[in-house]
Every structure is written in structure tokens, then in C-alpha cells.
Amino acid sequence: MSESAIEQRVHELAVELPSVIKMMVRREVRNLAGTIHPGEQLLAIAQGRYEGKQGLLAVTDRRLIFLEQGMIRRKQQDFPYDRVSSIGSKRGLAFGTLTIHAAGSQATIDQVSPKEFADRAAELVRARLGAPARQTTALSEDPLDQIKKLSELRDAGILTEEEFERKKAQLLGLD
């Protein structure tokens, strides 16, 4: 994608944000195009809080980006998909939360708004994680052990109830 195409895509996604959110992340939106690498595709954006700072959350085809642009300082945290092992999402009454497990640590982005973005971002990231390699090792395990592990992931908020039920039915041959 050319820089002008990236700027156009940022504008298209920003227009979809509610006015209050646009106002809160206007600096970050202006600077987002400069953080996108050549050939990288911007998929979605929202507002969120990471390490106590409000900023812009962007999902690309290669990574999850948190960008905080203050008057003087700028902070960017990248979560490249090749380092992400799992991602979980929760939706509350007003906000969503993303929990990212990457490189042996856990990062939480809370106050995600619009709240529906948390689930959407998690789905976009999961679709790009190295699922085939994980499935190959999982298939060799006992289905009951796999269901127990899936249950633990669901209870931890990493899998939704729907994802858990779908995978459980698949393991039991009921799909």
C-alpha cells in the first residue's frame, strides 16, 4: 500500500468511529499512517487504554499496534502475530478488554471502545495466528484432555463460549 492509500484507509476507518472516540484519539489517528509498514494492510481501529494511557488500537494483517500520542511524548507498542500465542476478549457494559499473550508475557488493553471492537480484534488476530501448527499437535492428544484444556481457555476468557462449543462438537465428532 502506498502512503496515500494508507492515509485514505486510516481516514475511512476513523470516519466509522463515534465522535467522542474520534476526539480522544485524533492525534494518534493523524500519526497512524506513519507507523504502518510498506505492504502492511490496516484492518480496524479503536480507542483503548494500555498501561494506564489512553490511545489508539490498530489491527493490521501483521500486528496489533497500540499508539499513544501526547503533546510531547509518543509511545508505540507492537504485538507482531509471530510472537502472539493467544488473545482473549471480554465485553463489559461500556467497554471491551483484550488480553494478549506474547513472548512469555501478558498484556492487557482495557477500556476498548467501541466495546464490540474487542471481539472483532480478537477474531482478526486469531485468524492470523499460526493455527495449523497448533492443530497438528492438538490432534494427537486425547479428545477429553483437549476438551479440558479448551474449558480452561474458556474460563480464562481466551475462548468465547461459542468457540468452545464449536471446538468441543468438532472433537466429539458431532459437527
| Interval 64-104: pLDDT, tens | 999 998 788 889 999 999 999 999 999 989 999 999 998 78
| Interval 100-135: pLDDT, tens | 998 788 999 999 988 888 999 999 998 888 644 333
- Paired with 76 in beta bridges are 67
The answer to whether 158 touches 167, Cβ cutoff 8 Å, is no
The pLDDT of residue 80 is 92
Tell me 94's DSSP state: S
The pLDDT of residue 2 is 62
% of the chain beyond a pLDDT of 90: 31
Could you tell me the domains of the chain?
3-129 (2.30.29.30), 130-175 (no CATH)
Please say if the pLDDT value at position 173 is more than 80: no
Average per-residue pLDDT for the chain: 82
| Interval 35-65: pLDDT, tens | 888 889 989 888 899 999 999 899 999 999 9
The pLDDT of residue 134 is 38
Whole-model pTM? 0.67
Backbone angles phi, psi at 166, to 5 degrees: -65, -45
Q: Taking the alpha carbons of 69, 55, 67, 6 in that order, is the dihedral positive or negative?
A: negative
Q: Taking the alpha carbons of 103, 109, 113, 118 in that order, is the dihedral positive or negative?
A: positive
